[in-house]
Amino acid sequence: MNTVLAAEAGSTTARNLTITLFLIFVAITLAITIWASRQTKTATDFYAGGRSFSGFQNGMAIGGDYMSAASFLGIAGIIALYGYDGFLYSIGFLVAWLVALLLVAELLRNSGRYTMADVLAFRMRQRPVRTAAAVSTITVSIFYLLAQMVGAGALVALLLGIKPGTTFLGMDADTAKVATIVLVGALMIIYVTVGGMKGTTYVQIVKAFLLMTGALVMTLLVLAKYKFNLSSLLGDAADASGKGAAFLEPGLRYGVETPGDALKTFYSKMDLLSLGIALVLGTAGLPHILIRFYTVPTARAARKSVLWAIGIIGAFYLLTLALGFGAAAIVGGQAITAQDKAGNTAAPQLAEALGADFFGGNLGGATLLAIIAAVAFATILAVVAGLTLASSSSLAHDFYANVVKNGQTSERQEVNVARISALVIGAVSIVLSIFAQNLNVAFLVALAFAVAASGNLPAILYSLFWKRFNTSGAVWSIYGGLLAAVLLVFFSPVVSGAPTAMFPDQDWHWFPLSNPGILSIPFGFLCGWLGTVLSKERDDDKYAELEVRSLTGAGAH
């Protein structure tokens, strides 16, 4: 089967259709954003969408915030190329929601207001804790943003089928990359500064709906092709991969066994465990996820939103499993790596093949490809908007209002600062992404999870459940976990000393694992404990207030 992306005849059609669909999405979301801006009057409207969303709406928005291009294109790609191991990612990303559901969502909703730091600083000295929380929020969000924006740039040439030596609207592939990064950055700045949390939430809801629909349609087509026989789909995928049964088992990508090199095998397996822990503990410490719990009126609604989110996200990862194995069976690993070595184009290529199969020839293929490509761009936009909002909220509410101004500022001023912050963070992300566009920064998503799990999660859990916890403990755990995760990754093979590293030609690595979680997460918890017991500060009265408020919802905003 001819699976070369955008075969010449279909190329122009697919490209025009992708752009048309994408522009329709942009037009609709901009209209929503302008509508939302008229509804945004108070700080609560801007930061928390007026706390007016229902559990279902917020559950969809959480899905839209969480299911990034990395999970859609990335996981489908890993499964298509390495088989079963991509599934490990999905499972970690899903099980992680139980931490949020059981330990964090409702208590945070009851005791906080706009940002993660509201809970962390509740019974602490405001300035040091809010500064630490803002540093960590912005670091995590920028890492995540860079991965998404550089990813968008890399995808555009592939999704629009701009081949080396050809041009599109007078742009070659490299120019198109930069143009995409700037466009994505500009749109996310508009969504956030104009629409605030309300606009961003609706963008995420629309995107979640489109992504789920797209993935569902493709999955049904894949399964229909195999007469809904999962076993024969798996068999074909294994055969086409050339790796046989091993393709359906763990071990081709993570925890690789190197015969005769016990140490390398050991490190590789440790790396798998380390990744698994960071995935499962990171979600409940991601600031852009945490602030979503403030958009609903009550703790009960926060619980409902996580339940919806678990349903939506779980269903989505089951669909990506079918898409990944479908791409392996129908498109084939060779055709995928010919387009993109990392496999990110597996899902769009599968769409093209399925479209050609079911709806006839190049036109059918081009149409389905265009739809999925447009969905992929919508996905990226919704995620980067959520990240920009989280970091600008923290900069304005935590750092400006409570550190610089000591809480002496008007709502209006604070929201203005949040808007300016979104502009600045957006601009900085655009510039950094342009510098990083040719570097392999895919590891930044895993690093964001590791930082969230090592620095933020210990501080959140200690805050909510440990009476003795204090300012010094909070500051130690955030900085300790953050620094441990970042430094270990800096000296790991994902940054230098390996062909796939960010700087492949240099080598300063000494830490053998790509994922720092297995060390940095316990270290973050340890720092939080040590910082606490080394300081005499203790405020039982304030803990009583926090505990009563977080468990009962008394005095909730």
Kindly state the tokens that stand for 360. 């006839």
Q: Tell me if 97 contacts other proteins by CB under 8 A.
A: yes
Rama region for 172: left / alpha / beta (φ>0; ψ in -120 to 50; rest): beta
Q: Tell me if 318 contacts other proteins by CB under 8 A.
A: yes
Nearest Cα neighbor of 124 from 545, 483, 484 is: 545
Q: Tell me if 409 contacts other proteins by CB under 8 A.
A: no
Which residue in 108, 152, 218, 234 binds other proteins (CB under 8 A)?
234
Number of shown-chain residues binding other proteins (CB under 8 A): 81
Residue type present at position 457: L
Burial 144-176 (b: 16+ CB within 10 A, else e): bbbbbbbbbbbbbbbbbbbeeeeebeebebeeb
Q: Rounded to an integer, what distance in angstroms lies between the CA atom of residue 322 and that of residue 319?
A: 5
Q: What are phi and psi of 503, to 5 degrees?
A: -120, 85
Residue whose CB is less far from other proteins, 352 or 398:
398
Which residue in 153, 214, 276, 333 binds other proteins (CB under 8 A)?
276
Other C-beta atoms within 10 Å of 382: how many?
32
Q: Rounded to an integer, what distance in angstroms lies between the CA atom of residue 82 and that of residue 272?
A: 14
Residue whose CB is less far from other proteins, 99 or 395:
99
Residue whose CB is less far from other proteins, 251 or 512:
251
Min dist. Cβ of residue 394 to other proteins (A) = 16
Which residue in 21, 116, 120, 121 binds other proteins (CB under 8 A)?
121
Nearest Cα neighbor of 95 from 323, 292, 250, 278 is: 278
Which residue in 16, 27, 311, 404 binds other proteins (CB under 8 A)?
311
Residue whose CB is less far from other proteins, 22 or 294:
294
What's the residue count for the chain? Answer: 557
Min dist. Cβ of residue 101 to other proteins (A) = 6
CB 454 within 8 A of CB 282: no
Q: Tell me if 251 contacts other proteins by CB under 8 A.
A: yes
Q: Tell me if 280 contacts other proteins by CB under 8 A.
A: yes
CA distances from 322 to 95, 159, 229, 336 (A): 19, 21, 11, 16
Q: What are phi and psi of 46, to 5 degrees?
A: -70, -50
Residue whose CB is less far from other proteins, 4 or 534:
534
Q: Tell me if 300 contacts other proteins by CB under 8 A.
A: yes
Binding mask 524-543 for other proteins (x = CB under 8 A): ---------------xxxx-
Residue whose CB is less far from other proteins, 307 or 423:
307
Residue whose CB is less far from other proteins, 49 or 348:
49
Q: Which helix (H) or strand (E) holds 31?
A: helix 8-39
Site for other proteins in 203-232 (CB under 8 A): 230-232
Q: Name 171's bridge partners.
A: 168
Site for other proteins in 444-473 (CB under 8 A): 465
Choose one: 298-306, 371-379, 414-422, 427-435; the region binding other proteins (CB under 8 A): 298-306
Choose one: 43-51, 148-156, 351-359, 521-529; the region binding other proteins (CB under 8 A): 43-51
Nearest Cα neighbor of 60 from 297, 311, 347 is: 311
Nearest Cα neighbor of 124 from 549, 551, 556, 543 is: 543
Q: Tell me if 512 contacts other proteins by CB under 8 A.
A: no
Q: Tell me if 555 contacts other proteins by CB under 8 A.
A: yes
Which residue in 14, 46, 51, 502 binds other proteins (CB under 8 A)?
51
What 3-state DSSP class applies to 496?
A: strand
Q: Tell me if 93 contacts other proteins by CB under 8 A.
A: no
Other C-beta atoms within 10 Å of 41: how many?
13
Q: Rounded to an integer, what distance in angstroms lies between the CA atom of residue 304 and that of residue 11?
A: 44
Q: Tell me if 122 contacts other proteins by CB under 8 A.
A: yes
Q: Tell me if 522 contacts other proteins by CB under 8 A.
A: no
Residue whose CB is less far from other proteins, 22 or 469:
469
Cα distance between the two ends of the chain? 59
Residue whose CB is less far from other proteins, 143 or 476:
476
Min dist. Cβ of residue 215 to other proteins (A) = 16
Residue whose CB is less far from other proteins, 171 or 248:
248
Which residue in 35, 178, 216, 314 binds other proteins (CB under 8 A)?
314
Q: Tell me if 551 contacts other proteins by CB under 8 A.
A: yes
